[in-house]
Structure 1
């Protein structure tokens, strides 16, 4: 919703200010379709050249993040702590019983309590792979922490490709606008024998290209890139939280302490209070009993 409001504000303030200043939309509207074909067509073509099919699909999908915002909500952060709490308690009390949950998490009644987390393959893999490694005696906290950090960084780097692709398009749009404007000037020079009122419209139409390139770059595409980057970074906190809890578990801290470490590493606006987390953990214990 906030993203949509921002887009509306950009259009209303730019074109509203132009109209209030006495500007006429006729020249812009007449030239706009042709300028859009040249500028947007060239931008889409350059984007297609620069990226493979998977990256294109990934970028188009990520544009929706501008309007949807971060994937993980406050309840999801609380849920993943409850999930980890139950898995850690099970690993401490009955390691053999844990195996079924981490080998086939889609069939696990513990994971089944948290469908949103279960749907996220990377989060489930992060949890299961780490717990599986610990059961195989690969439990050096420092080494595991380093492995998890590199894994999370690699995942984040891959997800950031869409924001880099959008920023590259934004950087090129002003230049493409100049290309369209130059073509408009060439067209104008072909009509140099026309009266001033005709030449004025032709020159105005040519300048629409420059305006459109700069407007699309700094009014839409660059802000979209920035927003997508912000959302991806916000969602990355979810995996960082999982890492902190799992590493704390390898240090053999009590399950409650591991969860408190995770709670303290939550983003401030999403962090439940200590008492709220205690209530959630008690409910988890009761459901597991």
Structure 2
């Protein structure tokens, strides 16, 4: 919602101020399709040339995320803590019983209770791989912490590829606007014998390229890149919570303490309260 509102305010203020100052939209509207084709096409072409298919695909998804917001909501953080609590209880009661859940999570009765988390490959992989390491007696706390830290760093870097690609596009747009403006000037110079009023319109149309490149860079693409980065950084807390629970478990803390340590690591905006987690865990015990 903020992305849409911000875009509307930006366009309204820029073009509204231009019109109030006595400007005319005819020249801009006439040149906009051609300048937009050159600048936008060159920016998209540069994006395709600089990145692999997966990064381009993620970037498209990131643009959608800029409008829809972060993937994980407050209820998802609560579900994650409940899921981790169930898995740790099974692990401590009988380590053999946990194998069926981590070897085939798609068929696990525990994972199936949390379908949104189950669909996220990164979350499921982190949970299952770390618990599998515990079962292999790979229980040195510092080693597991180091493994999880590297895993999280790698995951974060991958999730930020889209925002980096958008920021690179934003950095290139002013220069591409100059390219479009220069082409407009070349076109104008080829018509130097035309009357002044025609030349004035042609020069104005050429300057639309410079305006459009700068406007898109600092008014649209740049802010969207920052928005995407903020969203992915917030979502990263979800995966960090998995590591918090598992590392706390290695320190032999009670399950409820492991859950509480991770709960406090959640961003304040989506952090479930202590009582909400208590009620959710009680509900699981009653259902069992």
Report the TM-score range of the alignment, normalised by the length of the smaller protein: over 0.9
Three-state SS of the structure 2 residue aligned to 1:262 is helix
What residue number does 2:87 align with?
Answer: 87
**Secondary structure of the structure 1 residue equivalent to 2:213:** helix
TM superposition shift of 1:40: 1.1
Provide the TM-score with structure 1 as the length reference: 0.97
> 1:260 is matched with which residue?
260
- What does residue 100 of structure 1 align with? 100
Residues 99-127 of structure 1: CA deviation (Å, up to 9, x unaligned): 11111111111111111100101101111
CA separation in 1, counterparts of 2:275 and 2:53? 48
In structure 2, the residue corresponding to 1:67 is in which secondary structure?
helix
1:157-236 alignment, distance < 5 Å: 157-236=157-236
Q: CA deviation at 1:180?
A: 0.9
Could you list the runs of 5+ residues in structure 1 that have no partner in the other structure?
none
- The gaps in structure 2 that reach 5 residues or longer are none
Indicate the RMSD between aligned Cα atoms, in angstroms: 1.0
User: CA separation in 2, counterparts of 1:10 and 1:200?
Assistant: 27
Larger deviation, residues 187-196 vs 78-87 = 187-196
C-alpha contact 1:86 1:285 (8 A) present in aligned 2? no
2:51 equivalent in structure 1? 51
CA distance in 2, matches of 1:83, 1:75: 12
Q: Does 1:31 align with 2:31?
A: yes
Structure 1 segments, 4+ long, off by >3 Å, are none
Q: d(CA) in 2 for partners of 1:194 and 1:270?
A: 63
Shift of 1:72: 0.5
Counterpart of 2:132 in structure 1 is 132
Q: Where does residue 40 of structure 2 map in the other structure?
A: 40
Tell me the distance in 2 between the aligned counterparts of 1:42 and 1:13. Answer: 27
Equivalent residue for 1:9?
9
Q: Distance in 1 between matches of 2:151 and 2:50?
A: 26
Asked if the contact 1:180/1:210 (under 8 Å) is kept, the reply is yes
Higher mean alpha-carbon deviation, 211-220 vs 263-272, is at 263-272
Partner of 2:145: 145
Q: Distance in 2 between matches of 1:79 and 1:221?
A: 34
Are 1:279 and 2:240 an aligned pair? Answer: no
Q: Is 1:111 equivalent to 2:139 in the alignment?
A: no
Contact 1:91–1:98 (CA<8 Å) still a contact in 2? yes
